[in-house]
Amino acid sequence: MNGMNRVPLILVLTTTLTALLLWGSVCPAGTTGTIAGQVLDRFGDPVPDATVTVLDTDFATVSDAEGNFTILSIPPGTYSVRGSKSGYQSFTLTENIVSSDQTTRVYLQLGDANLLTEEMVVIAEKQPVDLNTTSSLTTLTIREIENLPVQELEDLVNLQAGVIDGHFRGGRKGEVQYQVDGVSMNNAFDNAPSMKIDRSLLQEVQVLSGTFDAEYGQAMSGVVNAVLKQGSPSLRVDTEVYTGGFFFPGRETARRADDTVHPTGTQNYQMTISGPLPLPRTTYLVSGRRYLFDDYITARRAYNPTDSDSLATGDGSEEALGFNREWSGVVKLTTEAFEGTKLNYQVLFNSRRGRPTNYDFRFMPDALSMQRQHSISHGLDWNQKLGETSFLDLSVRQNVLSYRDYLYEDIHDPRYDAPEQLNNTGNYGDFYYQGLQTNHYRQKTNTYLFKGSLVSQLNNEHQAKTGFELSLPEVEFGNDVHFTYGEGHLVRHINEPPDYPGPGTYYPVMGAAYVQDQFERQDLVVRFGARLDYFDARSTVPGDLANPANAIAGAPASQPRRTGVKSTISPRLGVAYPVNETAAIHFAYGHFTQFPSVNTMFTNSNYEILERLQAGSINYGVMGNPDVKPETTVQYEVGYKQSLTDDLGAELTVFYKDIRDLLGVEFIETYTGATYTRLTNVDFGNITGVTLAVDHRRVGPLSLSLDYTWQQALGNASDPTETANRAALGEDPRPRLVPFNWDQRHTVNMTASLFKPREYSISLVGKFGSGQRYTPQSENAFGFGSATNSGSKPAAFLLDLRAEKILGANAEGGLFLRVFNLLDARYFNGSVYATTGSPYYARFPSPSELVTLEDPTLLYPPRRIEAGVRWSFGGM
pLDDT in tens, 856-871: 999 999 999 999 999 9
The pLDDT score that the predictor gives to residue 24 is 35
Average pLDDT over residues 675-683: 94
- In the three-class reduction of DSSP (H, G, I as helix; E, B as strand; rest coil), residue 472 is classed as strand
Nearest in space to 15 (alpha carbons), one of 336, 512, 450: 450
**CB distance 510 to 538 below 8 Å:** no
The pLDDT score that the predictor gives to residue 116 is 53
Q: How many CB atoms lie within 10 A of CB 410?
A: 10
pLDDT in tens, 9-59: 444 344 434 433 333 333 344 688 899 999 999 889 999 999 999 998 989
pLDDT in tens, 484-522: 988 778 999 999 998 999 999 999 999 999 999 999 988
Nearest in space to 694 (alpha carbons), one of 677, 683, 709, 679: 709
pLDDT in tens, 564-617: 999 999 999 999 999 998 999 999 999 999 999 999 999 999 999 998 887 666
pLDDT in tens, 119-178: 788 888 778 888 889 999 999 998 889 888 988 999 999 989 989 888 999 998 889 999
Cα distances (angstroms) measured from residue 779 to each of 44, 704, 844, 851 = 78, 47, 8, 19
Cα gap 635→620, rounded to integer Å: 37
pLDDT at 783 over 50: no
Cα gap 643→650, rounded to integer Å: 6
- The set of residues, in sequence order, having a beta carbon less than 8 Å from that of 16 and lying 6+ positions away, is none
4-18, 175-189, 439-453, range with the lowest pLDDT? 4-18
pLDDT at 113 over 80: no
* Burial category of 137 from C-beta neighbours within 10 Å (exposed 0-12, middle 13-18, buried 19 and up): buried
pLDDT in tens, 430-440: 899 999 999 99
Nearest in space to 382 (alpha carbons), one of 448, 472, 284, 451: 451
pLDDT at 367 over 70: yes
632-636, 723-727, 816-820, 866-870, range with the lowest pLDDT? 723-727
**CB distance 576 to 585 below 8 Å:** yes
Average pLDDT over residues 232-238: 93
pLDDT in tens, 460-472: 899 999 999 999 9
Grade residue 699 by pLDDT with cuts at 50, 70 and 90. low
The pLDDT score that the predictor gives to residue 851 is 83
The pLDDT score that the predictor gives to residue 333 is 97
pLDDT at 348 over 90: yes
Which amino acid belongs to residue 356?
P
- In the three-class reduction of DSSP (H, G, I as helix; E, B as strand; rest coil), residue 56 is classed as coil
Cα distances (angstroms) measured from residue 710 to each of 161, 223, 540, 656 = 10, 21, 44, 12
CATH numbers and ranges of domains, the chain: 31-123 (2.60.40.1120)
**CB distance 661 to 220 below 8 Å:** no
The pLDDT score that the predictor gives to residue 15 is 40
User: What sections of 391-468 are H helices per DSSP?
Assistant: none
Find how far residue 492's CA is from the centre of its chain. 38
Cα gap 821→764, rounded to integer Å: 11
Cα gap 401→184, rounded to integer Å: 14
The pLDDT score that the predictor gives to residue 22 is 36
**CB distance 198 to 238 below 8 Å:** no
Q: Please work out, in degrees rounded to the nearest 5, the angle formed at the alpha carbon of residue 586 by the alpha carbons of 585 and 592.
A: 165
Total length of the chain? 876
Respond yes or no on whether the N-terminal peptide bond of residue 278 is cis (omega within 30° of 0). no
Which residues lie across from 476 on neighbouring strands?
444, 505
pLDDT at 482 over 70: yes
**CB distance 771 to 793 below 8 Å:** yes
Cα distances (angstroms) measured from residue 551 to each of 142, 194, 539, 691 = 62, 40, 20, 56
The pLDDT score that the predictor gives to residue 23 is 36
Average pLDDT over residues 842-866: 88
β-pair type (176-180, 222-228): parallel
3-state helix, strand, coil in the chain (%, to 5): 10, 50, 40
The pLDDT score that the predictor gives to residue 428 is 66
pLDDT over 70 for what percent of the chain? Answer: 94
Cα gap 381→286, rounded to integer Å: 17
Cα gap 37→387, rounded to integer Å: 19
β-pair type (675-699, 622-623): parallel
The pLDDT score that the predictor gives to residue 18 is 41
Q: Where are the beta strands (DSSP E) in 110-198?
A: 111-112, 119-123, 137-141, 163-164, 167-168, 176-180, 183-184, 186-187, 192-193
Grade residue 351 by pLDDT with cuts at 50, 70 and 90. very high
Average pLDDT over residues 641-662: 94
pLDDT in tens, 378-412: 999 999 999 888 999 999 999 999 999 999 999 99
Average pLDDT over residues 821-831: 94
What is the residue-averaged pLDDT of the chain? 90
The pLDDT score that the predictor gives to residue 607 is 94
The pLDDT score that the predictor gives to residue 688 is 97
The pLDDT score that the predictor gives to residue 741 is 94
Which of the pair, 100 or 246, is modelled with greater confidence? 246
Q: How many CB atoms lie within 10 A of CB 1?
A: 11
